[in-house]
Structure 1
């Protein structure tokens, strides 16, 4: 019993825990060297109550056989114990390094996979963007070609009409009376006025691009004014407009381009700027017919004004 306790203390002095020392001695080892070798082979074993539940008598009997040897080889045993501890520490350090390398590899793989997924997503998004952009350009090209085709058709129709008679292509209920003689071409003055009228109407439509009904109502009202004058040039009531008239203001007067269009037709401000008047001697039927043509085009041509602004 005394020898067993002494060996237990020596193992504890070498750095082993009391439970480890008891387990080594309880496993049938009869010397310090044998106990240390056993501990080196079983350093990761878990200490349980079963492994320690060995009768002390058995421990004493097994240890006493070579108890004297342990004292003779004390220094050698201590060196062996230190060597085993160093080996255990080195083994643990190597295992930690190995685990850290594995973790680093795992982080690298995860980062690489994340970058690859991000690159794939960006590439897919880029392809979708390019495909949509291409589709938009093709749609824009088709729309532009359609508009240009319509404008060319209108241009050809106008040339054919003006080559015969400068009248308006209106519906029966809005057609202006034919008061002009056939002409081969428009006078230079009328040609310039027509371009200014057209630009004026385009500007008005563009100003109301979010509310097309406003522009259409203004065009329709202006067409009525022009038609009335052409039909009844002697009637001053058709040639004189009170600027603060509520209906006129609501439909035409609130638009600068509406007033300008009437002035291009020959109207002038009179009586302190409170009225617009087209004097009888300044009534130009050719000019009014051109005005009617442009208004009719603005009302019926869905592409009118789309290429301006």
Structure 2
């Protein structure tokens, strides 16, 4: 015999009791252990032991066993209702435990679904709030731009009226209109901004104004140019790492038709950060030179030019 096998205890069971336990549906390994540890007295005692030890770690390991052929065990053939009841209770307990474990796992899964749902809703709420704030800021800037444009047009009209009276020799009833408070405040605000930003914004505005003035008889063409520029600027601002958005072929027919052949179009893109390269065949926006703040300013100017009917009106009147 192997040295390790000698240390394993041999369990003695009675053959008849073993058969009756197996007929109740208990596996042989469990039946053997139950009979051995309950003293091979009765089936009921064995079932009671199984109820108390159903969760033992070695309950299903088959031990070494000696079969006792003695069939005179007291009440060996008596499978009472109590035994059947305990056996059923054991099976019911296993089913109940399984159901409880499944319910517990389902509750955990439900908690995880609720948590993930809350995080998704919160992320959506934050994104919607950010978009709402951005739209509010844009609309506010747009209204201020319209207000300033109207005031400048009115001032120009008043000055023209005074000039006509002077030319006709009529008495002047009012002095030249002084700039209103909002315009003065605008100048103060511009003076307080960084010189570089103001100059770039002014040059961008001049490009758009020049484009609108040059093609003032073709509003559809002007609007299409503004919208095309807005797409180029928006793509880089949203995806600065995408090389395809930072490279424009100058010979592209659609680009030439919508932007390239229009006065101020390519200059506007260069002010945003695009540079001529590769034998002057492409406009390329170097990744390290992407300025999101400047692109956002360009975006706002383009949207104002598209939606504001007074955009560039004062400059047009002054040139005329």
Report TM bin, short chain.
0.3 to 0.5
TM-score (norm: length of structure 1): 0.44
Bigger CA radius of gyration: 1
